[in-house]
A = this chain, B = another copy of it.
Amino acid sequence: MEQKIKVGIIGVGNMGSGHANNIKNGLCPEIELVAVADINPDRLKWTRENISEDIALFDDAIKMLDSGLIQACIVAVPHYDHPRYVLECAKRGIHVMSEKPAGVYGKQVREMYKELEKYPDVKFGIMFNQRTNDVYIQMRNLIQSGKYGNIRRVNWLITNWYRSQGYYDSGAWRATWSGEGGGVLMNQCPHQLDLIQWICGMPNLVDCHMHFGKWHDIEVEDDVSAYMEYPNGATGVFIATTGDAYGTNRFEVQMDKAKLVVEDNKLRLWEFDMTEQEFSRLSTTNAFAQMHITEVPVETAEPSPEHPKVLNAWVGAILRGTPMVADGIEGINGLTLANAMHMSARLHKPVTLPMDDDAYYVELKKLIATSRRKPETASVYSDTSDSYHGV
């Protein structure tokens, strides 16, 4: 006597149709997909033909939200509209799962949060599916356990988000200031920007060099080199691009008493006999003394589909009050990192956090004003099932 939540999806483009397929394929046993909304009739036709004939189809999201058919809704529209539809759901008491990022600029998201306070019963989640990857869960647990002291250095080389020109040409809104409000930081890296803050906390300074349309014919950034400083004095570097044909995903955290590296979806841990500070103080006789280090094997669960886990935890929260993978409210952190990187690159100087969201919005509006957003053409739908390479 399984209870199911009646769910709708706003936007069955690349991401929305992936969710629809996962539900159809039985990966979300507590979800019944009852409706979808899309402004593109081709995508509604696709849904009828590929998912089910029994799904209610709407050419307008608001009509779907007002239909009374759904208890919960997945928002999978372009980034600028995430906060708007989240609020439209909340106002109607409809639980909501937003695709990442939470929005395009902090001001927009903070205003949404303020409004959401009126609807405390609505379960609002955000699709940070990489938080379900066991290598990151265990890395976070180890780091936050306290047994290894403080973080000293963070280094994430995340350059394996390769995208060809064909990708950017597949949708008129893609990689434009007016359509997405950014490039690799807004579309591909929200996962890593969320994970880095989830695991290491927020920096208080960001200094960033950024290149716009360096590897593609686009107006937004496709190459980012960011430096960060943390409140405890740790430093970090975050390097991202969609231009490297065979990039790297290597995340290293140096701590007082351990080193952790995630690469090729494996977590490696080296423990030190004592903290570096103790060792340094005690090593007075041999100037070239080196610490004794032990690699400790860490067992992590095999990768498995991540998006259904986020949806299942969300309906679990609705049905039973169990925790979500990522509360929507946490979306502001990764977004703030992206905004700070953009702000720093635009102003050619470091940006301190908490950042001035109003000032960033002013900068963003200037960019939007220059946007050469392509004339609306039929979007090309792509199967993304191979593209979530979180490793």
Contact = CB atoms under 8 A, between A and B. Distances in A.
A215 B276 contact: yes
A140 B215 CA distance: 24
A382 B286 contact: yes
A195 to B, nearest CB: 19
A227 interface: yes
Given A157-B155, A165-B281, A215-B276, A288 B382 contact: yes
Contact of A225 (B169, B237, B252, B254): B237
A366 interface: no
Interface residues on A, range: 35 or more
A211 B235 contact: yes
Contact of A276 (B209, B244, B259, B286): B244
Nearest to A169: B284
A239 B241 contact: no
A221 interface: no
A307 to B, nearest CB: 16
A152 interface: yes
B252 A248 contact: yes
Interface string A5-24: 00000000000000000000
Contacts of A280: 164-166, 215-216
A283 interface: yes
Interface stretch (A121-129, A289-297, A328-336): A289-297
A382 B287 contact: yes
A380 interface: yes
Contacts of A233: 214
Contact of A164 (B279, B380, B384): B279
A159 interface: yes
B289 A164 contact: yes
A153 interface: yes
Given A165-B284, A280-B164, A153 B259 contact: no
A285 interface: yes
A153 B216 CA distance: 16
A382 B223 CA distance: 45
B237 A237 contact: yes
Nearest to A288: B387
Given A254-B247, A288-B386, A386-B288, A283 B209 contact: no
B207 A246 contact: no
A179 interface: no
B270 A246 contact: yes
A167 interface: yes
A211 B287 CA distance: 22
A319 interface: no
Contacts of A287: 163-164, 166-167, 170, 380, 382
Given A159-B153, A225-B227, A293 B245 contact: yes
Nearest to A381: B287
A152 B235 contact: no
Interface string A196-216: 000000000001010100111
17 contacts: A152-B244, A162-B291, A164-B280, A164-B287, A165-B281, A167-B287, A167-B289, A215-B276, A215-B280, A216-B280, A223-B235, A225-B227, A225-B235, A237-B239, A245-B276, A245-B290, A290-B386
**Which 5 A-B pairs rank lowest in CB-CB distance, beginning with the nearest?**
A164-B283, A167-B287, A245-B276, A287-B382, A170-B287
